[in-house]
Homo-oligomer: A and B are copies of this chain.
Amino acid sequence: MRFLRATSIVTALTAALLLSACEEPDDPSPFEGTWVDLTHEFSRNAVFWPTAATFNKETVSEGMTEGGWFYSAYNFSSSEHGGTHMDAPVHFAKGALSTHEVPLDKLIGPAAVIDVSAASENDRDYQFTIEDVLGWEKAHGPLPDGAILLFSTGYAAKWPDAAAYMGTDERGPMAVGKLHFPGLSPELAAFLVKERNIRAVGLDTPSLDYGQSKNFMTHRILSAKNIPGFENVAALDQLPPTGATVIALPMKIKGGSGGPLRIVAHIPPFD
């Protein structure tokens, strides 16, 4: 009996220690940790594609009312594909998911953040390679099943200087040929849809395809598989390579081809 009792005490102590160790992440919520906002602001300075309508905000009211209280309200307009935004798959694939149809399951998931900033800084026309992903996997293990795959080029630091960020600050059709910024190579896009299971792809440049793309093949490959894209994402350099969870919530435009995106990441607390 003494043996059992002594054992019980040790067991109880061990149990108490372990329970207190594992209580922390469950209490008070599963969301303890750090949140990072990965979103640029929408303003007249927000960077838009040279041919796209830019963001505009007009004042409806701003000041004291007759009733004696302050009131402000604004109208706004925009194209769907400027600033931090989502490309819905229907942007480049007939019959694919439109903005309001993209399920939360494709918008919330484990982040895999690949740092391609060195190559992107050396070459404005850099296209991310299969080797960039394989190299990440060598260091961090296989891409999480259902990953939200994010490429950090470092170009977010150039925002909102359009010339520095995407190669030109000119507007109109003639400016499109002057776009120079990194994106995913079509070979990588094909590899991802065939060899990996990803929820979504994001990056901190204006387009999944690099600036000099003429056929937008990366968009077409990913869209055909109903994989949404997150473009002009901010602050990716603040995320760890693994362990963060992305929550990317687009404005719910019915039948849209994309739309403004508020994208955040949750980094769990250190254990």
Q: Which residues of B contact A53 (CB under 8 A)?
A: 60, 75
Given A18-B19, A28-B110, A35-B108, is A216 in contact with B69 using a C-beta cutoff of 8 Å?
yes
Contact status B39-A252, CB under 8 Å: yes
Contact status A254-B67, CB under 8 Å: no
Contact status B75-A77, CB under 8 Å: yes
Given A72-B91, A250-B262, is A67 in contact with B30 using a C-beta cutoff of 8 Å?
no
**Binary per-residue interface labels of chain A (148-170) against chain B in the complex, 1 for a CB within 8 Å, 0 otherwise:** 00000000000000000000000
Chain A residues 30-78 with CB under 8 Å of chain B are 30-31, 33, 35, 37, 39-43, 52-53, 57, 60, 67, 69-78
Task: Tell me, yes or no, whether A178 is within 8 Å of chain B by CB.
Answer: no
Question: Which residues of chain A have a CB within 8 Å of any CB of chain B?
Answer: 3, 6-7, 10-11, 14-15, 18-19, 21-23, 25-26, 28-31, 33, 35, 37, 39-43, 52-53, 57, 60, 67, 69-81, 84, 90-94, 100, 104-105, 108, 110, 144, 214-216, 220, 245, 247, 249-260, 262, 264, 266, 268
4 more A-B residue pairs beyond the given contacts A29-B110, A84-B252, with a C-beta to C-beta distance below 8 A: A11-B14, A42-B252, A72-B257, A247-B249
Q: Which residues of B contact A90 (CB under 8 A)?
A: 72
Q: Which of A23, A40, A72 has the most CB of B within 10 A?
A: A72
Contact status B108-A79, CB under 8 Å: no
Q: Which residues of B contact A78 (CB under 8 A)?
A: 75-77
Contact of A80 among B11, B75, B93 (CB under 8 A): B75
Q: Which residues of B contact A40 (CB under 8 A)?
A: 252
Q: Which residues of B contact A80 (CB under 8 A)?
A: 73-76
Give Cα distance in the complex from A237 to B260, angstroms: 27
Given A73-B79, A256-B74, is A249 in contact with B268 using a C-beta cutoff of 8 Å?
no
Q: Which residues of B contact A22 (CB under 8 A)?
A: 18-19, 21-23, 26
Q: Which residues of B contact A11 (CB under 8 A)?
A: 7, 10-11, 14
* A49 CB, min distance to chain B CBs, angstroms: 9
